[in-house]
Amino acid sequence: MHALDLVDVRKSFTLHLQGGLLLPVVAGVNFAVRRGTCVALAGPSGTGKSSILKMIFGSYRCDGGRILIRDGDRTIDIATAAPRTIMALRQRAMAYVSQFLRAAPRVAAIDVVAEALDRTAPDEARRHAAALLRRLNIPERLMAVPPATFSGGEQQRVNIARGILPDRPVLLLDEPTASLDSENRSVVIDLVNEKKQRGVAVVATIHDEEVRDAIADQVIDVAGFAAAT
């Protein structure tokens, strides 16, 4: 059974500052993701990889097509779902690691991560968060510090921990290892493969071919979905 299906999805952007110019991005996006597998989206920058992830997560509305996600015994079309339905799906069915960490100022790194377990007792959530941060080589002394002061690689590891910590059936990864060294890339590879072993369906954009080969069961060239201009 597929955890996620994209059927004839298309997306364009309207450039209002340029007289309403329509900028096509992708069209005819068709792929499915089974539980316990990873689909990697490949292709040059600007071909729409991140846009596809954002449409799945509901941050972007697609112009047409269907984005079907399994939610328990139901199938929900994210393309037409109400905003409150999408918000609920994000809490129970989808996790997302974006390219950049966005966190409230003055919130400690451990709490930024623990907030992802919003239905877990605070002390237990912080224990799980600390264990994952240790695995991602964040020193104990930094866990109580707001991540805005961290290096780019440290911020991304906090970002990864926050997205990977929740146990949700669909995991979206947008260039998760782009700013990481080889040691931490290996940790992320292990974490993603462990998620797959637990039946999570993963969609990832990854430029690093070594990482892609280590986690992907299928690679899709997004250039094949290029919309006609």
Report CA torsion sign: 199, 115, 99, 66: positive
Cα gap 197→4, rounded to integer Å: 17
Cα gap 165→38, rounded to integer Å: 17
The domain spans of the chain are 1-93+168-229, 103-167
pLDDT truncated to tens, each residue of the chain (229 aa)?
A: 699 999 999 999 877 766 667 788 899 999 999 999 999 999 988 889 999 999 999 999 999 999 999 998 999 999 999 999 999 999 999 999 998 888 878 899 999 999 999 888 999 999 999 999 999 999 999 999 999 889 999 999 999 999 999 999 999 999 999 889 999 999 999 999 999 999 999 999 998 999 999 999 999 999 889 876 5
Q: Which 3 state secondary structure label does DSSP give 27?
A: strand
DSSP state of 149: G
Report CA torsion sign: 213, 49, 166, 106: positive
User: Around Cβ 29, how many Cβ atoms within 10 Å?
Assistant: 25
- Give residue 18's identity as a one-letter amino acid code: Q
Percent of the chain at pLDDT exceeding 90: 80
pLDDT score, position 229? 55
CATH says 1-93+168-229 is which class? alpha beta
pLDDT score, position 209? 93
- Residue 64 tokens read as 């047409």
Contacts of 134 by beta carbon, 8 Å cutoff, 6+ apart? 140
Helices (H), the chain: 49-57, 83-92, 109-114, 122-135, 140-143, 152-164, 182-197, 209-215
Q: How far is CA 41 from the centre of its chain?
A: 12
The pTM assigned to this predicted structure is: 0.93
- Residue 126 tokens read as 């912080």
Cα gap 79→122, rounded to integer Å: 34
Q: Is 12 left (phi over 0), alpha (psi -120 to 50) or beta?
A: beta
